[in-house]
Amino acid sequence: MPRTLLRRTAGGMLLLLTVPLALGAGALAFLGTAAATATIPLLSAAGLAALAAVAFLLGWPVFALLRPGRRPFRAAGVLAGVLALATAGLAAVTVFQPLPTATAVPAPPGTRYWDLPTGSRLAYTKAPARGTPRPTPVIFLHGGPGTPGDGIDATGRALAADGFDVYEYDQLGAGRSTRLADVTGYTVARHVADLEAVRQAIGAEQVVLIGQSWGGILAAYYLAAHPDRVARVVFTSPGALWEGAFPDGNTGDIWDRLTPAQEDAIDALAYRPRFIAATLLQAINPRAAHALLGDAEADELLRQILLTAAPAAQYPGAPPLHAPDNAAGFWVNQYTSLDAEQVPDPRPALRSVPVPALVVRAEGDYKKWAVTYDYKRTLPRATLVYVKGAGHAISSDRPELYLSLLRSFLLDRPLPLPAWTSAEPPK
Protein backbone atom coordinates (compact mmCIF):
# COMPACT_ATOMS: atom_id res chain seq x y z
CA MET A 1 0.00 0.00 0.00
CA PRO A 2 2.68 2.59 0.85
CA ARG A 3 4.45 1.71 -2.40
CA THR A 4 1.23 2.22 -4.41
CA LEU A 5 0.57 5.56 -2.70
CA LEU A 6 4.11 6.72 -3.39
CA ARG A 7 3.84 5.72 -7.03
CA ARG A 8 0.53 7.55 -7.49
CA THR A 9 1.83 10.63 -5.69
CA ALA A 10 4.87 10.72 -7.97
CA GLY A 11 2.63 10.22 -11.01
CA GLY A 12 0.30 13.02 -9.91
CA MET A 13 3.17 15.44 -9.35
CA LEU A 14 4.68 14.60 -12.73
CA LEU A 15 1.27 15.13 -14.36
CA LEU A 16 1.05 18.60 -12.82
CA LEU A 17 4.45 19.40 -14.32
CA THR A 18 3.63 17.93 -17.71
CA VAL A 19 1.16 20.63 -18.77
CA PRO A 20 3.34 23.72 -18.10
CA LEU A 21 6.45 21.98 -19.42
CA ALA A 22 4.67 21.01 -22.62
CA LEU A 23 3.25 24.52 -23.06
CA GLY A 24 6.68 26.01 -22.43
CA ALA A 25 8.27 23.69 -24.98
CA GLY A 26 5.62 24.68 -27.52
CA ALA A 27 6.23 28.38 -26.94
CA LEU A 28 9.99 27.97 -27.21
CA ALA A 29 9.64 25.97 -30.43
CA PHE A 30 7.28 28.61 -31.87
CA LEU A 31 9.75 31.37 -31.13
CA GLY A 32 12.87 29.34 -31.89
CA THR A 33 11.64 28.34 -35.34
CA ALA A 34 11.32 32.04 -36.13
CA ALA A 35 15.10 32.14 -36.36
CA ALA A 36 14.80 30.06 -39.53
CA THR A 37 11.51 31.18 -41.08
CA ALA A 38 8.93 33.96 -40.96
CA THR A 39 6.09 31.67 -42.10
CA ILE A 40 3.57 31.74 -39.28
CA PRO A 41 1.92 28.35 -40.10
CA LEU A 42 5.35 26.69 -39.84
CA LEU A 43 6.00 28.38 -36.50
CA SER A 44 2.63 27.20 -35.28
CA ALA A 45 3.19 23.65 -36.49
CA ALA A 46 6.59 23.54 -34.81
CA GLY A 47 5.11 24.82 -31.57
CA LEU A 48 2.28 22.28 -31.53
CA ALA A 49 4.60 19.44 -32.49
CA ALA A 50 6.99 20.28 -29.65
CA LEU A 51 4.11 20.63 -27.22
CA ALA A 52 2.64 17.27 -28.22
CA ALA A 53 6.04 15.53 -28.12
CA VAL A 54 6.84 16.75 -24.61
CA ALA A 55 3.33 15.93 -23.40
CA PHE A 56 3.65 12.40 -24.81
CA LEU A 57 7.16 11.79 -23.47
CA LEU A 58 6.24 12.97 -19.99
CA GLY A 59 2.78 11.46 -20.13
CA TRP A 60 4.11 7.98 -20.68
CA PRO A 61 5.81 7.69 -17.23
CA VAL A 62 2.88 9.56 -15.67
CA PHE A 63 0.39 6.95 -16.72
CA ALA A 64 2.84 4.13 -16.10
CA LEU A 65 2.89 5.27 -12.47
CA LEU A 66 -0.82 6.01 -12.22
CA ARG A 67 -2.07 3.00 -14.21
CA PRO A 68 0.58 0.28 -14.22
CA GLY A 69 0.08 -2.40 -16.87
CA ARG A 70 -2.61 -0.48 -18.79
CA ARG A 71 -0.78 0.66 -21.94
CA PRO A 72 0.43 4.08 -20.79
CA PHE A 73 1.48 5.06 -24.30
CA ARG A 74 -2.20 5.24 -25.37
CA ALA A 75 -3.10 7.50 -22.47
CA ALA A 76 -0.02 9.62 -23.14
CA GLY A 77 -1.06 9.94 -26.78
CA VAL A 78 -4.55 11.05 -25.75
CA LEU A 79 -3.07 13.60 -23.35
CA ALA A 80 -0.75 14.98 -26.06
CA GLY A 81 -3.59 15.21 -28.57
CA VAL A 82 -6.03 16.88 -26.19
CA LEU A 83 -3.44 19.38 -24.99
CA ALA A 84 -2.39 20.23 -28.56
CA LEU A 85 -6.02 20.72 -29.67
CA ALA A 86 -6.86 22.83 -26.63
CA THR A 87 -3.79 24.99 -27.17
CA ALA A 88 -4.57 25.42 -30.86
CA GLY A 89 -8.11 26.46 -30.03
CA LEU A 90 -6.97 28.94 -27.41
CA ALA A 91 -4.33 30.40 -29.75
CA ALA A 92 -6.93 30.77 -32.48
CA VAL A 93 -8.97 33.17 -30.34
CA THR A 94 -5.99 35.02 -28.80
CA VAL A 95 -2.65 35.12 -30.63
CA PHE A 96 -4.18 34.49 -34.05
CA GLN A 97 -7.25 36.66 -33.57
CA PRO A 98 -6.65 39.78 -35.72
CA LEU A 99 -6.71 43.14 -33.97
CA PRO A 100 -9.13 45.84 -35.13
CA THR A 101 -8.26 47.81 -38.25
CA ALA A 102 -9.43 51.24 -39.32
CA THR A 103 -11.87 51.92 -42.11
CA ALA A 104 -10.01 53.48 -45.02
CA VAL A 105 -10.54 57.23 -45.21
CA PRO A 106 -10.51 58.86 -48.67
CA ALA A 107 -7.39 60.86 -49.41
CA PRO A 108 -7.86 64.61 -49.05
CA PRO A 109 -8.37 66.59 -52.26
CA GLY A 110 -5.13 67.32 -54.03
CA THR A 111 -3.28 64.25 -52.77
CA ARG A 112 -0.66 63.17 -55.27
CA TYR A 113 2.21 60.68 -55.30
CA TRP A 114 5.91 60.64 -55.97
CA ASP A 115 7.38 57.39 -57.31
CA LEU A 116 10.98 57.85 -56.24
CA PRO A 117 14.15 56.10 -57.45
CA THR A 118 14.65 54.89 -53.87
CA GLY A 119 11.67 52.57 -54.42
CA SER A 120 9.36 54.61 -52.19
CA ARG A 121 5.94 55.76 -53.30
CA LEU A 122 5.12 58.78 -51.15
CA ALA A 123 1.79 60.57 -50.86
CA TYR A 124 1.98 64.35 -50.68
CA THR A 125 -0.04 67.53 -50.85
CA LYS A 126 1.06 70.88 -52.18
CA ALA A 127 -0.06 74.44 -51.57
CA PRO A 128 1.23 76.39 -54.58
CA ALA A 129 2.73 79.83 -54.09
CA ARG A 130 0.45 82.80 -54.48
CA GLY A 131 1.49 86.27 -55.46
CA THR A 132 5.15 86.75 -56.24
CA PRO A 133 6.71 83.27 -56.09
CA ARG A 134 9.88 82.68 -54.11
CA PRO A 135 12.57 80.36 -55.48
CA THR A 136 12.88 78.08 -52.46
CA PRO A 137 10.00 75.71 -51.61
CA VAL A 138 9.07 74.76 -48.06
CA ILE A 139 8.83 71.10 -47.02
CA PHE A 140 7.14 70.17 -43.74
CA LEU A 141 8.49 67.00 -42.10
CA HIS A 142 6.04 65.30 -39.75
CA GLY A 143 6.91 63.66 -36.46
CA GLY A 144 6.72 60.17 -35.08
CA PRO A 145 8.44 58.50 -36.78
CA GLY A 146 5.27 57.46 -38.54
CA THR A 147 2.68 60.06 -37.46
CA PRO A 148 1.65 62.12 -40.51
CA GLY A 149 -0.98 64.82 -40.60
CA ASP A 150 -3.79 65.30 -43.08
CA GLY A 151 -1.90 67.44 -45.57
CA ILE A 152 -1.23 71.17 -45.73
CA ASP A 153 -2.71 72.96 -42.72
CA ALA A 154 -3.46 76.64 -42.08
CA THR A 155 0.20 77.37 -41.32
CA GLY A 156 1.30 75.91 -44.63
CA ARG A 157 -1.40 77.79 -46.53
CA ALA A 158 -0.30 81.06 -44.92
CA LEU A 159 3.28 80.44 -46.07
CA ALA A 160 1.97 79.73 -49.57
CA ALA A 161 0.28 83.13 -49.47
CA ASP A 162 3.74 84.60 -48.80
CA GLY A 163 4.98 83.17 -52.10
CA PHE A 164 6.36 79.78 -51.06
CA ASP A 165 5.47 76.51 -52.73
CA VAL A 166 4.63 74.37 -49.68
CA TYR A 167 4.81 70.58 -49.54
CA GLU A 168 3.94 68.05 -46.89
CA TYR A 169 4.39 64.35 -47.48
CA ASP A 170 3.70 61.08 -45.70
CA GLN A 171 7.09 59.58 -44.96
CA LEU A 172 7.89 56.02 -45.95
CA GLY A 173 5.87 53.50 -43.92
CA ALA A 174 3.19 55.95 -42.80
CA GLY A 175 -0.03 57.49 -44.03
CA ARG A 176 -0.79 56.70 -47.64
CA SER A 177 2.83 55.98 -48.56
CA THR A 178 4.64 52.69 -49.22
CA ARG A 179 4.88 50.03 -46.53
CA LEU A 180 7.97 47.83 -46.68
CA ALA A 181 7.83 44.03 -46.66
CA ASP A 182 11.13 44.01 -44.74
CA VAL A 183 10.55 46.27 -41.75
CA THR A 184 14.28 46.53 -41.02
CA GLY A 185 14.46 48.70 -44.15
CA TYR A 186 13.04 51.62 -42.17
CA THR A 187 16.23 53.51 -41.40
CA VAL A 188 17.34 57.09 -40.94
CA ALA A 189 19.43 56.78 -44.10
CA ARG A 190 16.39 55.65 -46.11
CA HIS A 191 14.38 58.66 -44.94
CA VAL A 192 17.26 60.98 -45.84
CA ALA A 193 17.53 59.36 -49.29
CA ASP A 194 13.78 59.78 -49.80
CA LEU A 195 13.96 63.46 -48.87
CA GLU A 196 16.82 64.05 -51.31
CA ALA A 197 14.78 62.26 -53.99
CA VAL A 198 11.82 64.51 -53.15
CA ARG A 199 14.00 67.60 -53.62
CA GLN A 200 15.03 66.32 -57.01
CA ALA A 201 11.44 65.43 -57.93
CA ILE A 202 10.23 69.00 -57.32
CA GLY A 203 13.21 70.42 -59.21
CA ALA A 204 14.47 72.65 -56.39
CA GLU A 205 18.12 73.62 -56.03
CA GLN A 206 17.51 74.30 -52.35
CA VAL A 207 14.65 73.75 -49.91
CA VAL A 208 13.43 75.13 -46.60
CA LEU A 209 12.84 72.35 -44.07
CA ILE A 210 10.41 72.64 -41.16
CA GLY A 211 10.64 69.56 -38.95
CA GLN A 212 8.36 68.75 -36.02
CA SER A 213 9.70 66.42 -33.30
CA TRP A 214 11.15 63.41 -35.21
CA GLY A 215 10.85 65.57 -38.33
CA GLY A 216 13.46 67.85 -36.75
CA ILE A 217 15.83 64.91 -36.38
CA LEU A 218 15.28 63.98 -40.03
CA ALA A 219 15.95 67.59 -41.05
CA ALA A 220 19.22 67.54 -39.10
CA TYR A 221 20.46 64.32 -40.71
CA TYR A 222 19.50 65.61 -44.15
CA LEU A 223 21.32 68.86 -43.42
CA ALA A 224 24.43 66.93 -42.40
CA ALA A 225 24.33 64.89 -45.62
CA HIS A 226 23.30 67.69 -48.03
CA PRO A 227 24.20 71.04 -46.45
CA ASP A 228 24.29 72.84 -49.81
CA ARG A 229 20.67 71.84 -50.52
CA VAL A 230 19.10 73.59 -47.52
CA ALA A 231 18.43 77.34 -47.52
CA ARG A 232 16.93 77.52 -44.02
CA VAL A 233 15.75 75.02 -41.45
CA VAL A 234 13.32 75.09 -38.54
CA PHE A 235 13.49 72.58 -35.70
CA THR A 236 10.16 72.55 -33.82
CA SER A 237 10.23 70.62 -30.52
CA PRO A 238 12.97 68.41 -31.96
CA GLY A 239 13.99 65.04 -30.59
CA ALA A 240 17.54 64.09 -29.72
CA LEU A 241 20.04 65.18 -32.35
CA TRP A 242 22.09 62.08 -31.54
CA GLU A 243 20.93 59.40 -29.15
CA GLY A 244 24.52 58.55 -28.26
CA ALA A 245 24.81 61.86 -26.43
CA PHE A 246 22.36 60.47 -23.85
CA PRO A 247 23.72 57.05 -22.92
CA ASP A 248 21.13 56.64 -20.18
CA GLY A 249 18.39 57.02 -22.80
CA ASN A 250 16.77 59.76 -20.75
CA THR A 251 15.86 62.35 -23.37
CA GLY A 252 12.33 62.97 -22.13
CA ASP A 253 9.34 61.07 -23.43
CA ILE A 254 5.62 61.60 -23.77
CA TRP A 255 5.09 58.44 -21.72
CA ASP A 256 6.64 60.27 -18.76
CA ARG A 257 3.65 62.65 -18.73
CA LEU A 258 0.82 60.13 -18.79
CA THR A 259 -1.81 60.09 -16.06
CA PRO A 260 -2.57 56.76 -14.35
CA ALA A 261 -5.83 56.57 -16.33
CA GLN A 262 -3.95 57.06 -19.60
CA GLU A 263 -1.40 54.43 -18.62
CA ASP A 264 -4.17 51.96 -17.85
CA ALA A 265 -5.88 52.66 -21.17
CA ILE A 266 -2.64 52.13 -23.10
CA ASP A 267 -1.87 48.95 -21.18
CA ALA A 268 -5.30 47.64 -22.15
CA LEU A 269 -4.47 48.32 -25.81
CA ALA A 270 -0.96 46.88 -25.77
CA TYR A 271 -1.13 43.90 -23.42
CA ARG A 272 -2.90 41.55 -25.81
CA PRO A 273 -1.61 38.07 -26.65
CA ARG A 274 -1.18 38.86 -30.34
CA PHE A 275 0.82 42.02 -29.68
CA ILE A 276 2.91 40.34 -26.98
CA ALA A 277 3.71 37.46 -29.35
CA ALA A 278 4.71 39.91 -32.08
CA THR A 279 6.94 41.76 -29.64
CA LEU A 280 8.69 38.51 -28.69
CA LEU A 281 9.13 37.57 -32.34
CA GLN A 282 10.51 41.02 -33.10
CA ALA A 283 13.64 40.25 -31.08
CA ILE A 284 14.23 37.05 -33.09
CA ASN A 285 12.99 37.73 -36.62
CA PRO A 286 11.40 41.08 -37.54
CA ARG A 287 9.88 39.53 -40.66
CA ALA A 288 8.05 36.98 -38.54
CA ALA A 289 6.78 39.70 -36.21
CA HIS A 290 5.51 41.64 -39.22
CA ALA A 291 3.94 38.52 -40.69
CA LEU A 292 2.01 37.96 -37.47
CA LEU A 293 1.03 41.58 -36.85
CA GLY A 294 0.39 43.17 -40.23
CA ASP A 295 0.51 46.85 -41.08
CA ALA A 296 -3.22 47.51 -40.93
CA GLU A 297 -3.57 46.08 -37.41
CA ALA A 298 -0.35 47.54 -36.08
CA ASP A 299 -1.03 50.99 -37.53
CA GLU A 300 -4.47 51.18 -35.96
CA LEU A 301 -3.09 50.02 -32.62
CA LEU A 302 -0.49 52.81 -32.73
CA ARG A 303 -3.17 55.33 -33.68
CA GLN A 304 -5.30 54.37 -30.68
CA ILE A 305 -2.29 54.59 -28.37
CA LEU A 306 -1.42 58.03 -29.74
CA LEU A 307 -4.98 59.26 -29.35
CA THR A 308 -4.85 58.24 -25.71
CA ALA A 309 -1.47 59.87 -25.11
CA ALA A 310 -2.08 63.05 -27.16
CA PRO A 311 -3.09 65.32 -24.25
CA ALA A 312 0.37 64.78 -22.72
CA ALA A 313 1.88 66.54 -25.74
CA GLN A 314 -0.01 69.75 -24.98
CA TYR A 315 0.13 72.56 -22.49
CA PRO A 316 -2.57 72.37 -19.79
CA GLY A 317 -5.72 74.12 -20.96
CA ALA A 318 -4.80 74.15 -24.66
CA PRO A 319 -7.52 73.26 -27.18
CA PRO A 320 -7.60 69.51 -27.90
CA LEU A 321 -5.40 68.30 -30.71
CA HIS A 322 -7.11 67.45 -33.98
CA ALA A 323 -6.75 63.72 -34.59
CA PRO A 324 -5.61 63.13 -38.19
CA ASP A 325 -7.59 60.70 -40.31
CA ASN A 326 -4.33 59.61 -41.89
CA ALA A 327 -2.89 56.28 -40.79
CA ALA A 328 0.00 56.10 -38.37
CA GLY A 329 2.92 53.80 -39.17
CA PHE A 330 3.73 51.32 -36.40
CA TRP A 331 6.61 49.43 -37.98
CA VAL A 332 8.33 52.52 -39.35
CA ASN A 333 8.08 53.96 -35.86
CA GLN A 334 9.68 50.90 -34.33
CA TYR A 335 12.58 50.39 -36.70
CA THR A 336 13.44 53.99 -37.49
CA SER A 337 13.62 54.62 -33.75
CA LEU A 338 15.89 51.60 -33.28
CA ASP A 339 18.12 52.68 -36.14
CA ALA A 340 18.39 56.21 -34.72
CA GLU A 341 20.04 54.69 -31.66
CA GLN A 342 22.84 53.25 -33.80
CA VAL A 343 23.64 55.87 -36.45
CA PRO A 344 26.92 57.83 -36.35
CA ASP A 345 27.03 61.20 -34.63
CA PRO A 346 25.97 63.92 -37.14
CA ARG A 347 27.16 66.81 -34.97
CA PRO A 348 30.76 66.99 -36.24
CA ALA A 349 29.42 67.57 -39.76
CA LEU A 350 26.75 70.02 -38.59
CA ARG A 351 29.22 72.22 -36.70
CA SER A 352 30.57 73.55 -39.98
CA VAL A 353 27.19 74.08 -41.69
CA PRO A 354 26.42 77.83 -42.02
CA VAL A 355 22.71 77.39 -42.83
CA PRO A 356 20.41 79.67 -40.78
CA ALA A 357 18.43 77.57 -38.29
CA LEU A 358 15.56 78.35 -35.94
CA VAL A 359 15.10 76.10 -32.91
CA VAL A 360 11.68 76.44 -31.30
CA ARG A 361 11.37 75.22 -27.72
CA ALA A 362 8.15 75.26 -25.66
CA GLU A 363 7.71 75.82 -21.95
CA GLY A 364 5.82 72.56 -21.52
CA ASP A 365 7.81 70.30 -23.85
CA TYR A 366 8.45 66.87 -22.37
CA LYS A 367 11.85 66.68 -24.05
CA LYS A 368 14.82 67.44 -21.81
CA TRP A 369 16.27 70.94 -22.12
CA ALA A 370 19.65 69.42 -23.04
CA VAL A 371 18.03 67.76 -26.06
CA THR A 372 16.85 71.09 -27.45
CA TYR A 373 19.97 73.04 -26.55
CA ASP A 374 22.15 70.53 -28.38
CA TYR A 375 20.81 72.01 -31.65
CA LYS A 376 21.67 75.54 -30.54
CA ARG A 377 25.25 74.72 -29.54
CA THR A 378 25.91 72.47 -32.56
CA LEU A 379 24.67 74.60 -35.45
CA PRO A 380 26.76 77.77 -35.88
CA ARG A 381 23.86 79.92 -37.13
CA ALA A 382 21.11 78.58 -34.89
CA THR A 383 18.70 80.86 -33.04
CA LEU A 384 16.81 79.39 -30.10
CA VAL A 385 13.46 80.84 -29.02
CA TYR A 386 11.39 79.88 -26.00
CA VAL A 387 7.60 79.73 -26.34
CA LYS A 388 5.57 80.07 -23.16
CA GLY A 389 2.15 78.48 -22.77
CA ALA A 390 2.80 75.62 -25.18
CA GLY A 391 3.71 71.97 -24.96
CA HIS A 392 5.42 69.67 -27.43
CA ALA A 393 2.66 70.45 -29.96
CA ILE A 394 3.56 74.13 -30.35
CA SER A 395 1.75 74.63 -33.65
CA SER A 396 -1.48 73.48 -32.03
CA ASP A 397 -1.09 75.18 -28.65
CA ARG A 398 0.11 78.58 -29.95
CA PRO A 399 -0.75 78.57 -33.70
CA GLU A 400 -0.66 82.34 -34.27
CA LEU A 401 2.67 82.82 -32.52
CA TYR A 402 4.11 79.79 -34.26
CA LEU A 403 3.10 81.11 -37.68
CA SER A 404 4.56 84.51 -36.80
CA LEU A 405 7.87 82.85 -35.90
CA LEU A 406 7.98 80.92 -39.17
CA ARG A 407 7.08 83.89 -41.34
CA SER A 408 9.57 86.18 -39.63
CA PHE A 409 12.37 83.64 -39.92
CA LEU A 410 11.68 82.67 -43.53
CA LEU A 411 11.22 86.27 -44.65
CA ASP A 412 14.30 87.45 -42.75
CA ARG A 413 12.38 89.78 -40.46
CA PRO A 414 12.86 90.37 -36.70
CA LEU A 415 11.48 87.47 -34.68
CA PRO A 416 8.50 88.10 -32.38
CA LEU A 417 10.41 86.47 -29.49
CA PRO A 418 13.91 87.22 -28.18
CA ALA A 419 16.69 84.75 -28.85
CA TRP A 420 17.57 82.57 -25.85
CA THR A 421 21.33 82.37 -25.52
CA SER A 422 21.90 80.80 -22.12
CA ALA A 423 22.77 77.13 -21.80
CA GLU A 424 20.44 77.03 -18.81
CA PRO A 425 16.65 76.79 -19.29
CA PRO A 426 14.38 79.68 -18.30
CA LYS A 427 13.35 79.66 -14.66
What pLDDT does residue 72 have?
A: 80
pLDDT digits (tens, 9 = 90+) for 44-58: 999 999 999 999 988
In this structure, the dihedral spanned by the alpha carbons of residues 217, 223, 225 and 231, taken in order and rounded to 10 degrees, is 150
Higher pLDDT, 322 or 258: 258
Domain with CATH 3.40.50.1820 in the chain: 112-410
Residue 146: what pLDDT?
97
Q: What is the mean pLDDT of residues 267-296?
A: 96
Measured CA to CA, the distance from residue 167 to residue 209 in angstroms comes to 10
115: phi then psi, degrees, rounded to nearest 5: -100, 105
> Is 90 exceeded by the pLDDT of residue 345?
yes
Query: Rounded CA gap, 257 and 305, in Å?
Result: 14
Find out whether 212 and 237 touch, Cβ atoms under 8 Å: yes
DSSP 291-324: HHS-HHHHHHHHHHHHHHHGGGGS-TTPPPPPPP
Share of the chain above pLDDT 70, in %: 94
- Percent helix / strand / coil, the chain, rounded to 5: 50, 10, 35
**pLDDT tens digits for range 68-106:** 656 787 888 888 999 999 999 999 999 999 999 998 888
The pTM (predicted TM-score) of the whole model is 0.93
pLDDT digits (tens, 9 = 90+) for 1-29: 455 555 556 555 666 788 899 999 999 99
Report which of 183, 210, 141 is spatially closest to residue 337, judged by C-alpha positions: 183
Residue 296 has pLDDT above 70, yes or no: yes
Helix (H) or strand (E) holding 359: strand 357-364
Q: Does 37 score more than 80 pLDDT?
A: yes
Q: What is the mean pLDDT of the chain?
A: 93
Question: CA-CA distance, 201 to 305, in Å (whole number)?
Answer: 34
Contact 367, 392 (CB under 8 A): yes
CATH of 112-410, one of 3.90.1150.200, 3.40.50.1820, 3.40.630.150, 3.40.50.970: 3.40.50.1820
| Arithmetic mean of pLDDT, 367-383 | 98
> Is the pLDDT confidence value at 63 over 80?
no
Mean pLDDT of the region 167-182: 97
301-325: per-residue pLDDT in tens? 999 999 999 999 999 999 888 888 8
- Whole-number pLDDT of residue 103: 86
pLDDT at position 61, please? 79
* Ramachandran assignment for 252, one of left (phi > 0), alpha (psi -120 to 50 degrees), beta (any other): left
- Provide the 10 A C-beta neighbour count for residue 337: 17
pLDDT average, residue stretch 336-361 = 97
Residue 427: predicted pLDDT: 83
pLDDT score for 284: 97
CB 30 within 8 A of CB 46: yes
Residue 65 is predicted with a pLDDT of 66
What pLDDT sits at residue 343? 97
Contacts of 118 (CB under 8 A, 6+ apart): 190, 193, 194, 197
List, in order, residues 6 or more apart from 115 with CB less than 8 Å away.
Answer: 121
Amino acid identity, residue 16? Answer: L
C-beta of residue 290 within 8 angstroms of C-beta of residue 332: no
